[in-house]
Each structure stands twice: as C-alpha cells, then as structure tokens.
Structure 1
C-alpha cells in the first residue's frame, strides 16, 4: 500500500507551487500521467499578470479581470488574487526564479489584451511557463516524491463519502492503488478535446471527469476560451502565437492587408479574447485567411525566440511579416467547484489550477491570469493543509466500489470527438448544433448513468471515456445557458442576459441521479468593489 500525507495528481504550476509550500515534514507524492514537465503551464508563452508597475494598482488589475470575465467572476476571489499577485512574483524572484529585468533591476512589464496597464511579468521573453516550471521542478525538496507515466482514473471513497485515495494504471496496464490524507486534483483543463487547440495532448479533462463521477460539483463548463492566434499550416495548429506579440504592436489582417479589428472594439487588436476570436472566425467562415502582421515590431526574433523557432520549424517566412493564424481552444474557465482554500464538496478532495473553478476568471480569463491563479491557489491550499497533522497509516483502508461492474460498450474515437466539438461546441454555438452533439455523445454515455467499471479498459480507452464525460458537461451547459457571455457565444442568443449573468450552472452526479443546480454568484461578491 502506498500512503502519503498529500497526494497531488498533475504537475503544472499549481501542483508544483503547492508542493513547494507544503511543510517539509509532510510526505508528498506527485502522480503525473506523462513527464513531470509535460503540462500546459510549461507551454505558456505569456507571462504572469501582477500590478508591480509604479503607475498600476491591484484595483486596476481587478477591474480588467472583471471586465474580461463579463462580471460573472466571484469578486471576493478576484480581490484576493490580484492584491497578492505582486508578493507572489517577488517571492519567486527572491527564491531564484529568473524574470526579465532592465539593467536597473526593474522588472520589464509587457502589455496583453484587455489589460489597461503594462503589467505582464515575463521570463525568457516568450518562455515564461517553461522557465517557471523548470525552476519549481529543480527546487523540489526531498519530502516530495514524483511518479511519472501513471494514469489516475478513479477516486476512492470510504463509507462516509470521504476521498481517501485513487486508482491508477501504470504503463503495463497494471492497476495501482494510492492512499492519502488529502488528495488534490491539479490535472489541468480540457483544451485538447477540440481539434484546433493550443493544449498539450495530455490535457483532456481526466481529473474533472473522475471528480464528477465521484459526486464532486462541476461548474461553468460552458465557458471555454478560444485563443485568437494559433499558428496554422495546412489546416493544422502548429503552436500558439502569444498575445504579447499583439501587445508589441502586431495587427490582425486579411491577405490584402485590411486590419480586421480596427472598427470592432476600442482596444482593437488587444480587445478581449472572445471578441477577437469571434471576429477572426467570421472572416474565416466567409473564406478569408487571417494573418498576424508583425512588420511594425523591431527585433522580433530577439523578443520572441520561442515563436521565431516555431515559425522557422514550420517554414513560415518571417521576412514577409505575416504569420497565418486561426482561433483555437485554449483555456477552461469552469471545472471542479472549490472555495478559497481549494476545498471541494467532497471531504478530503481538493482542486487547484485549471481543473478548478475558483471564480477568478468568470466567463472569460484575462490574459496571463492563469499562471497567477496557479501560484495563488497552490500556495493558499498548502497553507491550509499545513494546519493538519498526519493521520496514522492504516493497512487495508476500506473503500466502496462506486462504479459499475460493466465496462463501457462503445467509446468514441478521439479524433472524431475533437472534430465534432470544434464544429458544434466551438467558437460560435447554436441550439441545433449543440443538440446534435449531445445526442451523439449520449449514444455512448449519459450523465445520469452509473459510471461503468474502467478496470478492464486500456489507458487509451479510459481517457476516451473520460473525454466523453467532459464533452457532455460542456455541451449540456452550453445548451442550457441561453445567452452569450465571454467565451460562450450563442448565435441564436447573441446578447448578454442580465438575469443569467450571476447564475452559475453546477452539475453533480450522486448515487444514480444527475442534479443541475443554479447558484446565484451575486451572493459571492464582496460589495461591488470593482464596479
């Protein structure tokens, strides 16, 4: 039996920040289904948003966060996170994490979409995620053990409905059991469920799906952020072109040179991501190719070495100054509903990072708030867990089998699922397309069904089944929300509905019953601080 004080599933920035801040006397275990550095956090070209500039204040950062989130945010969470952002940056820098600085020692601050100030802290230009993850991995302490290439697929609950461990498969398909006093899901979002995506292939929503199937509350799944600028070649996404490029002056143009954002929004190319993505989508639907014009940026190769290498690798001629782009799935605002300490509604189970729905992002994440959220909630959860004393190791911890005995009869092909999600539940949605997708997915599984046993399935089959569950949660929530807000755009309901803005859709499966509850987020607000 493998027993730890704290078990962390996933290895992105939230997971590693949590491990760093847990007490040295805690026995900590990190389980990750791939390499410890294979996460969306490592791929993050953008930086970390923090009001460290002399002309900035966390109030401005909070207002921008609320505006980008279309006021669907939990204002109390926004206030807490943006106010502590500068301290989180300075703590990392003082610990030895490198950030880009001027010769004077001042942090160099970049601009990104929907921000009112230059407040984006970078490391290595456009390689912030990689540098921060490298630092956090290399400085893990001896009380933290890491098991790579282990696929966690089911939570173990005892008779009191407390989470006490997980079930996993190793690369040989052997089932492994892991137990802990505290189990933390930090598995990231589900971006790879879309055929056009910036996400790592490992990011398929497994943690959220298994939490749902165990009775955890899942919220805001309809809100998917589509990043406007994915590098595209022959119809395939090759990588992400950071919003920082537009922050340096790049413009979105047609092949003939028409600036497509000039008359759409006061911030033009730095408008909120959902507005830019929807604009590009409209042009592509009408047969136009869209490019990022970088001719106005001096020393582009020096400022953006990662993007330069990506373009050269895909034979994009930077001398011509035009990078072909399309919008694609980038970030999930929803996830496992948690409180300020990362607690879920299941005792012993926690969630941080993109897998969690904290309320920070609302209906659409502000650029560079994702790494910030991971740092903030990773540390906050660690401080909460440090208060607990270790429980005694108990050999043969009892748990009840919450899943059925029958393996799933049919599971969709992941390539087909990704294609249909992009077509029917993508940037622009309609009732017809959403209902078609729901009907298709329910041919494999329904959200009110008892979960099947996955023990006899291969890792690939388990991942595809869990992807089906996530796809259904997104599709159904998008069907229920009859308005357009942030990352959720309904062509048949193109406007925001004031009555729906504060309503949060919460899904919960429990003992053979699916509950869909509406939570009034207005109760969470701290007094309209950022109005």
Structure 2
C-alpha cells in the first residue's frame, strides 16, 4: 500500500503553489501523466494580474473581473482573490522569483483586455508561466514527483462517501494504486477537446471526468473561453499570440487593413475575449482571414521573444507586421464545484486551478487572472490542510461494477472537430442536439479503464467531458460570456443571472460491495 498525506494530480502553478505552502512534515506526492513541465501554466505568456500600480486598487480589479465574467461570478470569492493578489506577488518576489522591471527598477506593468489599469506583471517578456514554474520546481525539490503516470480512477472508501486514493497506469501498462488522506485534482481544463486550442497536449478534461465518475458535483461547463488570437498557419493553430500584444498596440485587421473591432465595443481590440472571438469568427465564416497588425508595437521581438520566435519558426515574416490568427479554445470557467478552500462536494477530494469551478471567473475569465487563481487557491488549500489534524480513515475500497467499453470509439480528431463545429464559439439548439445524440451513441458508462491503452482512456474521458459541456450548453437558453447561442443571442438576467448549471455524477455510487485493500 503506497500512502501519502496529500496526493496532487497535476503539476501546474496551482499544484506547485500548494506543494510549496504545505507543512514540511506532511508527506506530499505529485503525480502527472506527462512530464512535470508539460502544462498550460508553463506555456502561459501574458502574466499575472495584481493591483499594485500607483493609481490602481483591488476594488478596480474586482470590478473588472465581474464585468468580464458578466456578473455570473461569486463576488465574495472575487474580492478575496483581488485583495490577496498584491501579497501573492510580493511573496514570489521575496522568495526570489524574478519578474520584468521598468526603467525605474519597479515591476513593469502591462495592459490587457478588459482591464481598466495597467496591472499585468510578467517575467521573461512573454514567458511568465515558465518563469514561475521553473522557480517553483526549484523550491519544491523535497516533494516527490512521479511523471508519466496516467490516473484513470478515483478510489472511494467502502461507504462510497470519501475519496481515499487513485489508480494510475504506468507507461508499460502496469497499474499502481496510491492512497492518501487528501486527494487534490490540479489537472487543468479541457482545451484539447477542440480542434483549435492554445492548450498543452495533455489537457483533455480528464480531471473533470474523474471527479464526475466518482460522484462529485460539476458546475458551469458551458462557459468556455475562446482566445481570439492563435497563430494560424496552413490550416492549423501553432500557438498563442498573447493578449498583451494588443495591450501594447496590436490591432485586428482584415487583409485589406480594415480595423474589425473599431465600432464593435468601446474597448475595441481590448474588449472582453468572447466579444473579440465572436467578431473574428463572423469574419472567418464569411471567408475573411484576420490578422494581428503589430506595426504599432514597439520592439516587438524584444518585448515578445517567445511569440516572435514561434512566428519565425512557422514562416511568418514579421517585417510585414501582420500575423494570421484564429480564435481557439483557451480556458474553462466551469469545472469541479469547490469552495474557497478547494473542497469539492465529495469528502477528501479537492480541486484547484482550471479544473475547479470556484465562481471567481463567472462566465468569462478576465485576462491574466488564471495564474493568479492558481497562486491564490493553492495557498488557500494549503492553509486549510495545514490546520487539519490526523483523522482515522477507512482505506477499504468501494468496489465498482465495470462494463466493457465498446470498440468503435471515435477518434480524438473527430471529437475535436465536432466539438468545434457544434459546441464551439457559436452554438445553437440544432447543433447541440446533434452533438448530444452523437455523444450518447457511445457506451462509456462505468467502463473498465484498467484494460484500455492510454489513448482509449483519453477518448473516454474526452467523451464524458464533452457530454457535460454539451448538456450545460443546451440548458442555458441565453448568451453570456463564453457561452454564445445564436438562437438566444442576448443575456437574460431575469432567468439566468448567477444561476449555475450543476451536474452530479453518481456512477461510483451505483456499486454494491467493498473489498479490502491488501
């Protein structure tokens, strides 16, 4: 029996912040299905939002977050986050994390979409995620990290009431079982469900599927943020073009040079992401390619070295000042429903980072609040767990009746294509119903994942998470934030303001008998 006090599934900023803030006497294990650095956090370009400027205040940050989230946010959680932000940055700086500075030696502050002040702290120009993750990995050298283990099942106690462990599959197919007092999901979102995405390759929504199968409550899955500007070359997306580029003067134009955002929103190119993405989408549907004009961005290659290098590697001549872009799946506002301390509805199971739905983002995430979210909730959960005394836990496992998965699972590419077409930037009842019927045609309930290779496990998890998004998108008969319905194009505060769509899995509770751990 392999036992730890805390098991963390995932290795992004939320996971590493939790690990560095936990008590030294706790036995902590990080399990990741890929390498430790293969995460959305490591790819994050833009920065971290914090109200530290002379004319800024956490209340302004609070208001901007609510506006971007279309007031679907939980105000108390948002206020806690925005008020904590300056201290979270100070803590990183104090411990040696190096951020970019201005000519006066102060932290350089950038502007991004839907922010009312310059408040974006960044590191390495456009390599903020890499800067922080490298720093945290060096700090957490006493934490045991196991790479390339695909967690495919959460284990419950014999009463079916508490999460007590996980099952993982090794690269050679061997199954390992791990037990802990506290199981934390920090697996990220589900961007790879879509054909166009900025997300790292492992980010398929598996943490959400795991929690749903175990019986945890899932919330707000209809709210998917599509980032307006992914580099688009030869029919494929080739990485993210940070919103900070538009903050520094980049403008969205047609091939003829027409400014597409000029009369769409008062903030023009810095409008909330769902508005910019939908505008670009409208042009693309009419056969018009959209470009990011960088002619007004001073010292582009110096300010954005990662983006400049990626563009050059993909054959883009930056001297022409036009970068071809398309919108793509970027961030999930919904996920496993949690409280301020990361606790899910299932005892012993916690979720932090993008896999969690805390209410902080509402219907659309404010730019550069994602790394901040990871820092904040990693710290909040650490403070909670550090106060917990040792309790007696029943490590007898709840036995689950398993079914054999059907052999004709759709390819990952088919899932991505149909999700983009039917449950993507613009949705309708007709498309959603077609997708729901297609997803239901595959038998994936209570399947025996232990017998499947990694790719088939991913297909099952993707189908589960895709179904959750589709069902929630059908139910919300309005457009709000990252959820846009052609047939219900307006917000409906009377019926839907702050109304959550909650889905609860019960597959794990349908089983019959307990078996002892040996």
Corresponding residue for residue 473 of structure 2:
478
TM-score (norm 1): 0.94
> Does structure 2 conserve the Cα–Cα contact (< 8 Å) formed by 1:250 and 1:295?
yes
For residues 235-258 of structure 1, the C-alpha deviation after alignment (integer angstroms, 9 at most, x for no partner) is 100000000000001100000000
Q: 1:385 to 1:513 in 2, by over 3 A?
A: closer
Q: Does 1:451 align with 2:446?
A: yes
Return the alpha-carbon distance in structure 2 between the equivalents of residues 83 and 11 of structure 1.
Answer: 26
Give me the whole-angstrom Cα distance separating, in 1, the residues matched to 2:401 and 2:162. Answer: 15
Aligned to 1:506: 502
1:308-327 aligned at under 5 Å gives the runs 308-327=308-327
Q: How far did 1:509 drift?
A: 1.8
**Cα 1:433–1:513 shift into 2, 3 Å:** farther
Q: CA deviation at 1:22?
A: 0.2
**Contact 2:478/2:489 (<8 A) preserved:** yes
Map 1:329-348 → 2, pairs under 5 A: 329-348=329-348
Contact 2:252-2:291 at 8 Å conserved across structures: yes
Specify which of 395, 398, 422 is matched with residue 396 of structure 2: 398
SS of the aligned residue for 2:450 comes to coil
Partner of 1:24: 24
Q: Would the alpha carbon gap of residues 512 and 122 (structure 1) be closer, same or farther in structure 2, given more than 3 Å must change?
A: closer
Find the aligned partners of 1:445 and 1:117 in 2 and give their Cα distance. Answer: 50
Distance in 2 separating the partners of 1:445 and 1:259 = 48
Q: Contact 1:219 / 1:334 at 8 angstroms: preserved in 2?
A: yes
Q: 1:3 aligns to what?
A: 3
Matches of residues 247-396 of structure 1 in structure 2 within 5 Å?
247-390=247-390
In the TM superposition, 1:30-69 aligns within 5 A as: 30-69=30-69
Map Cα deviations across residues 304-335 of structure 1 (whole Å, 9 max, x no partner). Answer: 00000000000100000000000000000000
* Equivalent in 421, 424, 434 of residue 422 of structure 2: 424
Residue 468 of structure 1: aligned partner: 463
Displacement of 1:389 in angstroms is 3.2
Residue matched to 1:214: 214
| Counterpart Cα distance in 1 of 2:105 and 2:25 | 36
Alpha-carbon displacement from aligned partner over 1:156-182 (angstroms, at most 9, x marks no partner): 001231100001100011111000000
CA separation of 1:497 and 1:190: change in aligned 2, threshold 3 A: same
Query: Are the structure 2 counterparts of residues 177 and 274 from structure 1 closer, same or farther at C-alpha, using a change threshold of 3 Å?
Result: same
Moved more, 285-294 or 403-412: 403-412
In 2, the alpha carbon distance for the partners of 1:409 and 1:348 equals 34
In the TM superposition, what is the alpha-carbon distance from 1:112 to its structure 2 partner?
Answer: 0.2
1:296, distance to aligned residue in structure 2 (A):
0.9
The match for 1:488 among 483, 490, 494 is 483
* SS of alignment partner, residue 500 of structure 2: strand
Write out per-residue CA displacement over residues 252-277 of structure 1, whole angstroms, 9 at most, x where no aligned residue.
00000000000000000000000000
- Count of residue pairs the alignment pairs up: 508
TM-score normalized by structure 2? 0.96
Report the CA distance between 1:436 and its aligned residue.
0.6
Alignment RMSD (CA, Å): 1.4
Distance 2:454 2:289 in 1: 38
Partners of 2:501 and 2:393 lie apart in 1 by 39
The yes-or-no answer on 1:159 pairing with 2:158 is yes
In structure 1, what is the Cα distance between the partners aligned to 2:19 and 2:105? Answer: 29
Deviation (angstroms), 1:510 = 1.7
User: Shift in Å at residue 455 of structure 1?
Assistant: 1.4
> 2:515 maps to which residue?
none
Gaps of 5+ in 1: 515-531
CA distance in 2, matches of 1:501, 1:473: 20
For the residue of structure 1 that corresponds to 2:252, the secondary structure is strand
Partner of 2:301, secondary structure, is helix
Q: Distance in 2 between matches of 1:213 and 1:445?
A: 14
Judging changes above 3 Å, is the alpha-carbon distance between structure 1 residues 330 and 511 closer, same or farther for their aligned structure 2 residues? Answer: closer
Tell whether the 8 Å contact from 2:181 to 2:393 is kept in structure 1 after alignment. Answer: no
Q: Contact 2:215/2:509 (CA < 8 Å) preserved in 1?
A: no
1:528 corresponding residue in structure 2: none
Q: Work out the CA distance in 2 between the residues paired with 1:511 and 1:245.
A: 45
Q: CA deviation at 1:155?
A: 0.3
Give the superposition deviation at 1:102: 2.1
Determine the structure 1 residue equivalent to 2:243: 243
The DSSP-based 3-state class of the residue aligned with 1:469 is helix
C-alpha displacement of 1:430: 0.5
Cα offset for 1:466?
0.6
Structure 1 distance, partners of 2:497, 2:476, is 10
Q: What displacement does 1:387 show?
A: 1.1
Partner of residue 524, structure 1: none
Find out whether 1:150 has 2:149 as its counterpart: yes
Structure 1 199/156 Cα, relative in aligned 2: closer, same or farther at 3 Å? same
Q: Which moved more, 1:401-410 or 1:459-468?
A: 401-410
Residues 45-100 of structure 1, C-alpha deviations (whole Å, 9 max, x = no match): 01000000010000000000000000000001000000000000000011000101
Q: Deviations over 1:345-368 (max 9, x none)?
A: 111000000000010000000000
Unpaired runs of at least 5, structure 2: 511-518
The residue matched to 1:467 in structure 2 has which SS?
A: helix
**Is residue 226 of structure 2 the alignment partner of residue 231 of structure 1?**
no
CA distance in 2, matches of 1:139, 1:48: 20
